[in-house]
Amino acid sequence: MQELTPLEKRVIEVARESFVEKGIINTEMKDIAAKVGISRSSLYRHFPSSLSIAFYVLNDVLTRLMTIDEEIPEDLSGFEQFSIYMRKAVDKLCSNLDMVRFIKEFDTLYNLKSESVEPPEVFYRTLNDYSRYQFMDYFRKGLQDGSIKPVQDEINAALTFYFAAQSMTEHIMLREETYLHEHGVARQFVEYAISLMLAGIKA
């Protein structure tokens, strides 16, 4: 597949800002074109719809959310490193609910329009590039040093943790006021769930 042109990269950057701030549905193609400084017809020659742009934005958003900037000490066991990563990941998810909301909207729209929208090749290629996921290295190290119990499928086992955190953040934190009103807690549910899951893999 051809690399994105500078213009296409600019479109994705502008769209990301708008999608995360206002939502995909509330962002019109004409608005993106205007901010980029091109005509709508020119934009449509590169991207047939806002959802087609959203695939690229999703990859960018997931990368941003999954990347933990603070260093995790190297002299810890794999389990300890993985545990620290997951707690920092929950913190990052809960601190970036606009991005979490975008993911939820994308999933809903794609499920509704999956038959009419073809994901770009780079979408799956990037999504399945597990080398970009920091937590994979920690999980593998834990399996190798014996601090994490053996599992049949290390990739999906590690992914389960991250996407469980993301899904719970989406379900609970986007309705935080309701959870606080009904249960007195919200984020603690997400943190407790991850703690329980971590306890289940500790050797």
pLDDT tens digits for range 118-140: 888 878 888 788 888 899 999 99
**Cβ neighbours, 10 Å, residue 5:** 10
Lowest-pLDDT range, 9-13, 29-33, 122-126, 153-157?
122-126
The pTM for the full model equals 0.91
Helix spans in the chain (H)? 6-22, 29-36, 40-46, 50-66, 78-95, 97-113, 121-127, 134-145, 154-168, 176-183, 187-201
184 phi-psi bin (left φ>0, alpha ψ -120 to 50, beta other): left
The correct CATH number of 6-201 out of 1.20.1250.20, 3.40.50.620, 1.10.357.10, 3.90.1010.10 is 1.10.357.10
More confident residue, 12 or 124: 12
* pLDDT for 115: 67
Measured between alpha carbons, how far is 110 from 139 in angstroms, rounded to an integer?
30
